[in-house]
Structure 1
C-alpha cells in the first residue's frame, strides 16, 4: 500500500519560503520571498488535513480547489496540480503573491484553528504556477472554433484580463482598451515589484496577445474613442476600469507642494522600475530619497507607499493611522514586513492640517485619538484626545486614503449608465449586466476598491454570462 502523502501537520511544522533579510531587501524592488524548492513544496503541501469541509476553499472568492492541488503537489504530480489550479483561477501565480491569504484561505485553515499553524497555501500556489511557466505547461488560448461574436473590454486590469482569457479560449473575438501604455492596470502600475515583479504580469499580457486578444493601449475612452463607438463595434462591452479617483484631504495647508496622491507616487516608482523616463521622479517630486516621508492611511496602498519610500532611500518613513494596529484594514503581514524594513507606525493618529515652509510642505499637524464606541460598521470609532496635537516633520506627504469611482456617465456621455449612491456602476450580481443592453461591468468599478481576487472572479463570471447570452441568441432568433 502506498504511503499516505497527506495529514503530516502534526509532525511537520509550518515553514514559509525563506524571506530575504530586511537590510538586503531595502535596497531593491525584488520580491522578498524566495521560491520553494521542490522537496519543500511537497513537504508543506503534505500538511493539508484533507478535511471534509474545506474552509480554505469556501473562503476563497474563486472557490479554488485548494485541497486537491495540495494533494497533487504532495504526490509530485505538479502538472496536474497546475491544471486544477488554473481551472478556477486565471492568474494563480499572481494570487499566490498578492492575495491576503491571512484573511482568506490560510486564515480559515482547519489545522490553524487546532493550533498547528496554517498550510502555506499561497506559497505553494505560487510555486506550482511558476514551475508550470518554467516547464511550458502554460499555453496561450487556442480555441477549436472561432466565433463571430466580438467583445470590447474597457480596462486591462485583473477583471478585464480574466474576462478576456475566458472569452478568447471560447473563440470570441476580444479587444481590450486601456488608458495606459502597458496592460495589467493596478497589477502593473499600482503594486510595487517587491510584492509582484512586473515580468510576472507582462508574460500574462503577452500570452493573451499570442492567444489572439487585441490590445488598444494609450486609449482613453471619452477622449481617444467614445463609449458609443465601442458599443457600436462589439456585440457586448465589459467595463473593467477599476477605481482610480483618490480620496482627498480638505484641511488647512493641503495645497502645499510635496503633498501627493498614493497612485501618482506608486505609478512613478513602477514606471522607473520599467526603465521609463519619469520627469516627476527625476525632478524629485515623486522621489522619496533623502526625505522625511509621512504616509497617511492604514490600508494595503499605504503599506505599498511606506515600503516603496524605504527602497527609494528616504531619511525616515512614518505612517499615520487613526485607529490601532488591530483595527487597521491592511494586511498584518505587510505591517510586520514594513516594520522590519524601518517604517515607524504612529497608531491612533490623524492629520488635522499641514505646515509649510514657503510653498513646500514642512510638517503634518497630528491629533491623537482613542477608540470609542463602535460605529455603523461595527468597528470602534476614533475619538479626539483634546490637547494632544503635535507636528510631525515632513518633506513628502503621501495620501493613501483609498479610491473612489470616476463619474463615468459624465466622462463618457452616457447618462443612461446608472450608478449607485457611491458612484459605482449598478450591475447584476454574478453576471455583471448593467441597465444598458449588452453592457456589463466587473471588479472595483462595481464593488468599490476591493481585492484583485474578487476582480478575477467577477471577470470570469461575467465572461461565462456573456457566452451563455451568445449561445441563447440563435435559439431566441429561431423562435
Structure 2
C-alpha cells in the first residue's frame, strides 16, 4: 500500500529490534534483527524528500537514498532494490557496517532539525535482504563477451566491486587473493556481530556465477610477479587494502600478551568459520578469563573490545587519548560496546606495558589534556604531568590503524609508483598509475578508510579500465585503417 512521505511529524525514528546486551554478548550473531515489511515501510515514510538531499551528498557512493526510501514506503521493494543496487555493489553490507551516523544519517535534515534521522542504513539492509529472499539478486550477464582480460589483485570490497562492474562490460576478469576466502577484511577483519559471514560468502558466489575467475591462496611476488600478470592481462587493478599494523611504540610493547588487532580479529573470525586456530586453542588469542586493554579509538578498536567481551574476558577496557566526542569510530558502536560491558578510559594514553612474570601484566597510562588544535582542526592531546595510572592487562591489543605494505618489494616491481606514505600514486580521474595499464583502488590508494569508499573506488577504477581498454582498441583500429589506406 502506498504511503505519504514526511511522516516524521507523527512517527518517531526506530531502529530494528536490538537483542539485549546480556543475550548478544554470549554469541557472535548480528545484534540487530531486520525490519518486518510494515515497520520498514513506516520508517522509510519518515523521509522529508528534501530538495537538496544531504544524505545523498554525504554518501561516498551518492546513493539515490530519497528515491529508494520513497519506493520502500510505497511497498515497491523490487524497484527499491533496483535503485539501491544501481549505485552500490553490496548495499546489504554497507547497510550493516557503514558508520551512518558520520555519513548519510548524520547529514539527514531531520537529524539536524532534531526530529531524529531516518534510519537509512537499516532500510538499505531491509531492501537488499528482501531482494535476496525473493530471488531478485542475480549474477551479472553481459550483453556480449569481450576478449580482453583484467586481473584484479585483492578480493576485498574494492576488488569485488570492480570485478562486478567489469563483468557488466563483458570483460574476462580474474580475481587474485593471497587468502583462502573472498572478502578481505569483510571476512576476516569485521566480526560476525556486525556482519555475519554468509552475507559475504553469497556475494563471492554471485561473482563466481557471473563468470569471474577466482584464484585464492595466490600471492603476487611468490606465485607470479606483477610483470608476469601484466603480460597475462590487458589491464591490472591493485586493490590489496592496507594490512601493516601501526606499532605500539612504548616500553614493553614486545612482551608476550601484546597483540596486533588484526591477528586477534582474524583468529576469532576463522574460529567462527569453522577453521582450526592453534593459537586460539593455546590461549594466546583467547581473551577468556583475562583482563584486556585495547589501545585505540576507531572501529577496529570497537571490534576488538566487543570480541573480547564475547570470548569471556574478565574485564575489557578501551584506552583512548582523546574524549568520546573526538573518537574517529562510530558513536553507535561505542554505545553498543558500553551496553555490553566495555569500560572506556577516555583522555588516557599508554606509557608502558609492565612485565609481570615475563609477560604483559599491566598497562601504565597517563591522563591527557586536549590542547591547541592542529592543522586538521583537532585538538592535540598532551600528557598531564604526574597523572599516571595502572590498568591490569593480561592481554593488550594494539588497534592504532593500518599502513600500506611495501608493494614494490612484495610484487617484485621496484618501479611501481608509490607516495611517501607507501600508497599507490594514481591519476585521480582515470585511477591509473604511471605504470601503463596498472590501476589502483581502495585503501592502497587513499590509506585506511571505509568499506563504502573502497566500493566507490572499485567502481571508478572499473570505468577507468574500460576507458583505457576502449581507447587502446580504437587506436589499434585507427592504426590498422591507416596502414590499409597507405597500402
Shorter-normalised TM range: over 0.9
Question: Which ranges of 4 or more aligned residues in structure 1 deviate by more than 4 Å?
Answer: none
Find the residue that maps to 1:387 and give its secondary structure. strand
Q: Map 1:146-295 onto structure 2 (within 5 A).
A: 146-295=145-294
**Alpha-carbon deviation of 1:229?**
1.4
Contact kept in structure 2, 1:430 and 1:458, CA below 8 Å: no
Provide, for residues 162-190 of structure 1, a one-character-per-residue CA deviation record: whole Å limited to 9, x for no partner: 00000012211000110110000010000
Change (3 A) 1:4 1:279: closer
Partner of 2:340: 341
Distance 1:267 1:249 in 2: 19
Q: Map 1:293-308 onto structure 2 (within 5 A).
A: 293-308=292-307
Partner of 1:78: 77
Find the residue that maps to 1:107 and give its secondary structure. helix
Partner of 2:364: 365
**Alpha-carbon deviation of 1:224?**
2.2
Distance 1:115 1:413 in 2: 55
Provide, for residues 169-219 of structure 1, a one-character-per-residue CA deviation record: whole Å limited to 9, x for no partner: 221100011011000001000000000000000000011001111111011
Partner of 1:132: 131
**Alpha-carbon deviation of 1:249?**
1.8
Query: Normalization by structure 1: what TM-score?
Result: 0.98
Q: Does 1:473 align with 2:472?
A: yes
- Deviating more after overlay: 165-174 vs 438-447: 165-174
Partner of 1:41: 40
Contact kept in structure 1, 2:2 and 2:74, CA below 8 Å: no
Q: Which residues of structure 2 form unaligned runs of 5+? A: 479-487
**Alpha-carbon deviation of 1:307?**
0.2
Find the residue that maps to 1:433 and give its secondary structure. coil
- Deviating more after overlay: 249-258 vs 65-74: 249-258
Distance 2:451 2:243 in 1: 14
Provide, for residues 14-54 of structure 1, a one-character-per-residue CA deviation record: whole Å limited to 9, x for no partner: 01101000000000000000100000010000011111110
Change (3 A) 1:4 1:135: closer
**Alpha-carbon deviation of 1:110?**
1.0
**Alpha-carbon deviation of 1:416?**
1.4
Find the residue that maps to 2:152 and give its secondary structure. strand
**Alpha-carbon deviation of 1:410?**
1.6
Contact kept in structure 1, 2:260 and 2:397, CA below 8 Å: yes
Partner of 2:109: 110
For this pair of structures, how many residues does the alignment match? Answer: 478
Distance 2:431 2:289 in 1: 47
**Alpha-carbon deviation of 1:460?**
0.4
**Alpha-carbon deviation of 1:359?**
2.3
**Alpha-carbon deviation of 1:430?**
3.8
Q: Which residues of structure 1 form unaligned runs of 5+? A: none
Distance 1:251 1:128 in 2: 47
Distance 1:370 1:308 in 2: 29
Query: Normalization by structure 2: what TM-score?
Result: 0.97
Distance 2:111 2:326 in 1: 21
**Alpha-carbon deviation of 1:466?**
1.1
Contact kept in structure 2, 1:188 and 1:270, CA below 8 Å: yes
Provide, for residues 316-347 of structure 1, a one-character-per-residue CA deviation record: whole Å limited to 9, x for no partner: 00000001111111111100100000000000
Q: Does 1:323 align with 2:322?
A: yes
- Deviating more after overlay: 98-107 vs 349-358: 349-358
**Alpha-carbon deviation of 1:412?**
1.5
Find the residue that maps to 1:365 and give its secondary structure. strand
